[in-house]
Each structure stands twice: as C-alpha cells, then as structure tokens.
A = this chain, B = another copy of it.
Amino acid sequence: MRLVIAECSVDYIGRLKAHLPRAVRLLMVKADGSVLIHSDGGSYKPLNWMSPPARLHVEAGAEEEDPEVLETWTVQAAKSDDRLIIRVHAKHHDSDHALGTDPGLIKDGVEADLQRLLAEQIDVLGPGYSLVRREYPTAIGPVDLLARDGAGHTVAVELKRRGDIDGVEQLTRYLELLNRDPLLAPVRGIFAAQQIKPQARVLAVDRGIDCVTLDYDAMRGVDDSAGRLF
C-alpha cells in the first residue's frame, strides 16, 4: 500500500463526471491497483476513487504542459471505460508499506441473526404462534418465516432490520402467491423490523399487513447463545 499526501486536482469520467478542485488530500494506492482519495473529514467514503481491478499510470508533468503540474496519474478501470485523472501539484509525503493479505471481518447481529432469534422466539408475535419453517420457498423467492398463529392460520413473516416500503411490496408479492395455494390459504402477513418507516407502515396497514417492531437487544438477551462469539 502506497500513501501519498499531495496537493492535487482530480477528475472522474465514467458512469458520471465528477471534479475535485485543487487541495491537499491523501492518495491511497492499493496492491490491486485501486486508488482512494480521502480528505480529512467525512465518513468512510472517499471523495473519489477507482475500484479494482485497475491500472495506475504515472507520467511526469501535465499532458497540457502546465508547469504547475508535477505528475499526472491516470487510473484506468480494467473492465470498463471509467477513468480517474489525478494532477499532482505538490507531494508532502510518499511512503510504501507491505501489509499482506487480511484475514477478514467476523460479524454478528445482521438480519440472519435476527431471523434466527425470531424463529426461536416466534411467540413474540403473539400467544400460540408456532414456526412452520425459515426461508419457506416460493416461485419468486423464499419467505423469511412461515408460521401458524394461535388459531392455526398460516402467517408469512417478512423480516427487516429497517422496515422500508420495498419490504412491504416484497411481502405483498409473497402473500399473493401463497394465497393461491389452497393448502395454505388464507395466509396473513406480518411485517417485522427493528424500525418501521411511517410510509411503509401506512402501506402495510392499507394492505391488511400487521406491523411488529422487534427489540433485538431484548431478544438477544433471552437467547442463551448471545455474547459467546468473542
């Protein structure tokens, strides 16, 4: 990994065009040819970048013979026409480092975990609920959870961390399909999420879909396998 602190201006031409005026920034060049341009703020997203695989070509001076330009960097994407052009006006730092391959990130607490917890604690949806199965297959994809309520009626559960309008649409399509199956019909829908957006709730209610807000921490607290990972 090469780290350069440089005064530079940047142009990206590809799916859109973007321009960065002259300023001091960090240029990070990775082993796979990708380049990230970071300022001293913002979040993890670089101001501009080139995704791998890409090829970096450095040329002394400027193509247009501008004496203020020390180097012109051209970063060309290997599989598309996307191109990043970096004009370096001054270099304040330049260092190279051998990092080796990374063992990678281990995660816990994503939607898959939420699904596992709700499957184990299906009665948070109401008394008498029982699980039929997780990832119940349909022609248009698997339903997150299929269950039966206290009265024995089938219930399809769509699970999200953040309940958005898309999730309601998805559940609606599943319900339409499931209700064509005489062995299952009538199938009711439950939209379960840690947070449900107002618009999504309105749409769900309009379609007769129940909304349930889940407390992940509480559910994880009940689960005895919690906290064992690290």
Contact = CB atoms under 8 A, between A and B. Distances in A.
B101 A41 contact: yes
Interface residues of A, number: 61
Contact of A41 (B18, B26, B31, B42): B31
B17 A100 contact: no
Contact of A105 (B47, B101, B102): B47
A107 B17 contact: yes
A16 B93 contact: no
A109 interface: yes
A14 to B, nearest CB: 9
Nearest to A227: B17
Interface in A76-105: 92-93, 95, 97-105
B49 A102 contact: no
A203 interface: yes
Interface of A: 1, 3, 5, 11, 15-21, 23-26, 28, 30-32, 34, 36, 38-49, 51-52, 92-93, 95, 97-110, 140-141, 166, 169, 199, 202-203, 229-230
